[in-house]
Amino acid sequence: MSSSNDNSWSYTGRGTNTHGNDWYSRQDSQGNQGYDYENRNGSSYSRNFDGSTQYNAANGYSRSTSADGQVSESFPSGKASGNGK
């Protein structure tokens, strides 16, 4: 019998889209869906079971969005962070 904190999950599908990017879909024991993309340009994107997301660019930039919509960004060192300098 699964408990409410059972965080096991399994892959439910995988493939390659028309842009040549690999994708993987997954589902946890509660039926929540998630997926991952591994892109040809070196970036990756994940959507987690709770609705949070994570994007990682090949240049070191990353952006996370929590399940409640809060955004966090990280810029590669030595790169401008949108301040125009």
pLDDT tens-digit profile of 30-69?
999 999 999 999 999 999 999 999 999 999 999 999 999 9
Cα separation, 75 vs 61, in Å, equals: 5
Is the pTM of the predicted complex or chain greater than 0.85?
no
Q: Are 16 and 23 in contact (CB under 8 A)?
A: yes
Residue 72: pLDDT over 90: yes
